[in-house]
């Protein structure tokens, strides 16, 4: 009888400092909630990773660099990649159709591009508010 | 950001019924379309041309009249507006949520360029208290000195003062970059939560007092450190970024960046979470 080939399941290695994961502190375990940011908010952008869309945006605004987008990073909302929209005061989750690189600098550039698209979209939640409450 | 776990197992605090406040933001995924057409401007803003230039003399106008006039000029497509005779008026150039090249030929009073999002502003004189308060995006350049609370609570953009600034610069800032060519007063970076401050000169006492996060770079002497402000190592990436940012600010071309001191939060004050108020109440 031929031996059955047993497929070996690849072990999922947990990488130290994996994106979006960090060791919980005793305090966090106790309260069941993360304290502070789950990504480096002070990470300076790597301009070699800038996307063509962001280049066009900077040029259109007349700025010299990413300006306010330097503070935009890809974070997490309920363990899903997301970017925080300060205008809507909420997390915008990244659609699962978008493949994200395992590199924070590249992910940040994608987050910046998607955030600009979201904020300038006529479907942005503030558009309705503006229509309803604009005074002058 | 705070995040409530969805695991079924109740933690001690959940069992105690303390999870009444939810700090997570509202997920906006239903509004999002990654294939959105290329559009770089907010809904309802004006389509202006930087090459279309005009002058506006505000000598005999109130601040409200002048601000309304600036808005009117933007609606006509003017992308470069030169303001003549600002004469230290308060609250000039506020609430501009448009791309614009705005030039002030003179000095501003209190609360100039407040709550702006996008414009490039150049002031050829001095500014009073709380210049560019709540700046969201854009670039503001002040050629001379600035008063106290410079860049209070800014959330983004570049705020540059080529001269010296008063006390509490960048108080409560939540993003963006403040660049000072001269000296800065006491309590610089007080309660800052994010963003970066660069000071090429000296800085007063209690630098970065009670800062939660963010980074302060100082080129000169530091009067004293505030509570929870600590030194950090200046990396080559920091130096590259500083070099680029000073070029944007048009100052410090020959400054020796290796001598810069980097100050960050010690994060001992990082114990805020959504249970704290409830626990405090219980303790009292």
pLDDT of residue B271: 58
pLDDT at B128: 97
Q: Do B137 and A68 touch (CB under 8 A)?
A: yes
DSSP string, A107-127: HHHHHHHHHHHHHTSTTSHHH
Flag if B120 and A82 touch (Cβ within 8 Å).
Answer: no
Half-sphere exposure of A52 (CA within 13 A, CB side): 1
Q: Is residue A85 part of a domain?
A: yes
Neighbours of B26 (CB within 10 A): 13
Q: Is the pLDDT of residue A131 over 90?
A: no
Q: Which helix (H) or strand (E) holds A31?
A: helix A26-31
Residue B55 CA: distances (Å) to CA of B38, B48, B58, B102, B132: 32, 15, 10, 10, 22
Task: Please count the structural domains in chain A.
Answer: 1
Rounded distance between C-alpha atoms, residue A94 and residue A77, angstroms? 10
Does some domain include residue A13? no
Q: Which residue has the higher pLDDT, B284 or B60?
A: B60
Q: At residue B138, what are phi and psi to the nearest 5 degrees?
A: 115, -170
d(C-alpha A5, C-alpha A33), whole Å: 44
The lowest-confidence range among A52-66, B28-42, B82-96, B120-134 is B28-42
Q: Are B146 and B167 in contact (CB under 8 A)?
A: no
Residue of B nearest to A119 (CA): B42
Chain A 35-64, residues with CB within 8 Å of chain B CB atoms: 35-38, 41-42, 44, 47, 53, 56-57, 60-64
Asked if the Cβ–Cβ distance from B28 to A88 is below 8 Å, we say yes
What ipTM was assigned to the predicted interfaces of this complex?
0.84
**Minimum CA–CA partner of A118 in chain B:** B32
Give the per-residue pLDDT at B2. Answer: 47
CB B26 within 8 A of CB B55: no
What digits encode the pLDDT tens for the residues B167-223? 999 999 999 999 999 999 999 999 999 999 999 999 999 999 999 999 999 999 999
Interface probe for A, chosen from B3, B44, B242 (most Cβ of A below 10 Å), is B3
Contact yes or no for B11 and A44 at CB 8 A? no
Residue A6 in any domain: the answer is no
pLDDT value of residue A12? 44
CA of A125: which chain B residue's CA is closest? B31
Q: Does residue A36 lie within any of the structural domains?
A: no
**Could you tell me which chain A residue has the CA closest to the CA of B95?**
A136
A123 touches chain B (CB under 8 A): yes
Predicted pLDDT at B165: 98
Q: How confident is the model at residue A4 (pLDDT cuts 50, 70, 90)?
A: low
Q: Which of A36-45, A66-75, B270-279 has the lowest mean pLDDT?
A: B270-279
Residue A99 lies in a domain: yes
User: According to the model, what pLDDT value does residue A22 have?
Assistant: 59
User: What are B155-171's pLDDT values in tens digits?
Assistant: 999 999 999 999 999 99
φ, ψ of residue B235 to 5 degrees: the values are -90, 170
- Stretch (H or E) spanning A29: helix A26-31
- The two three-digit tokens of residue A3, written as one number: 């031996």
| pLDDT greater than 60 at residue B66 | yes
Average pLDDT of the segment spanning B248-253: 92
Domains in chain B: ranges and CATH? 43-283 (2.160.20.60)
Which structural domain range is residue A70 located in?
Answer: 42-121
Q: What is the pLDDT of residue A77?
A: 79
pLDDT of residue A126: 82
The 10 Å CB-count burial string (b at 16+, else e) for A98-109 is: eeeeeebbebbb
Query: Residue A16: what pLDDT?
Result: 44
How many whole angstroms from its chain centre is CA A25? 23
Residue pointed to by tokens 């930087």: B50
DSSP A98: S
Mutate to test the interface with B, among A56, A59, A63, A109 (most CBs of B within 10 A): A63
* DSSP secondary structure string for all residues of A57-83: HHHHHT-SS-GGGGG---EEETTEEEE
- What is the pLDDT at residue A127? 82
Within-domain flag for A73: yes
């Amino acid at each position: 009888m031929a031996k059955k080939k047993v497929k070996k399941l690849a072990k999922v290695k947990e990488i130290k400092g994996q994106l979006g994961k960090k060791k919980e502190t005793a305090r966090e375990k106790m309260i069941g909630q993360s304290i502070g940011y789950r990504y480096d908010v002070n990470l300076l952008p790597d301009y070699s990773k800038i996307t063509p869309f962001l280049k066009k945006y900077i040029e259109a605004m007349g700025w010299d660099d990413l300006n306010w987008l330097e503070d935009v990073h890809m974070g997490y909302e309920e363990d899903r990649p997301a970017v925080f929209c300060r205008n809507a005061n909420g997390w915008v989750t990244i659609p699962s159709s978008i493949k994200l690189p395992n590199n924070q600098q590249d992910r940040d550039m994608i987050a910046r591009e998607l955030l600009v698209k979201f904020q300038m979209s006529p479907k942005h939640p503030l558009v309705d508010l503006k229509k309803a409450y604009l005074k002058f | 950001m705070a995040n409530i776990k969805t695991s079924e197992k109740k933690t001690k605090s959940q069992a105690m019924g303390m999870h009444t406040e939810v700090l997570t933001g509202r997920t906006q995924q239903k509004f999002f379309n990654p294939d959105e057409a290329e559009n770089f401007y907010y809904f309802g803003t004006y389509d202006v041309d930087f090459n279309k230039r005009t002058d506006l003399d505000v000598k005999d106008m109130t601040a409200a009249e002048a601000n309304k006039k600036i808005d009117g000029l933007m609606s006509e497509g003017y992308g470069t507006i030169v303001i003549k005779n600002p004469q230290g008026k308060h609250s000039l150039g506020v609430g501009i949520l448009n791309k614009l090249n705005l030039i002030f030929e003179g000095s501003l009073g209190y609360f100039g360029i407040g709550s702006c999002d996008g414009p490039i502003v150049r002031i050829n004189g001095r500014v009073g208290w709380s210049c560019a308060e709540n700046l969201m995006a854009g670039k503001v350049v002040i050629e001379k000195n600035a008063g106290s609370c410079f860049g209070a609570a800014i959330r983004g953009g570049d705020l540059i003062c080529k001269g010296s600034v008063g006390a509490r610069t960048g108080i409560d800032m939540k993003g963006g970059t403040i660049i000072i060519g001269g000296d800065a007063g006491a309590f610089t970076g007080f309660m800052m939560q994010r963003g970066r401050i660069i000071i090429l000169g000296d800085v007063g006492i209690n630098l970065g007092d009670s800062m939660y996060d963010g980074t302060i770079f100082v080129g000169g002497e530091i009067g004293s450190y505030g509570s929870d402000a600590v030194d950090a190592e200046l990396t080559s990436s920091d130096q590259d970024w500083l070099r680029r940012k000073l070029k944007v600010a048009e100052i410090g071309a020959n400054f020796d960046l290796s001598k810069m001191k980097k100050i960050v939060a010690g994060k001992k004050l990082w114990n805020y979470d959504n249970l704290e108020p409830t626990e405090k109440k219980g303790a009292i």
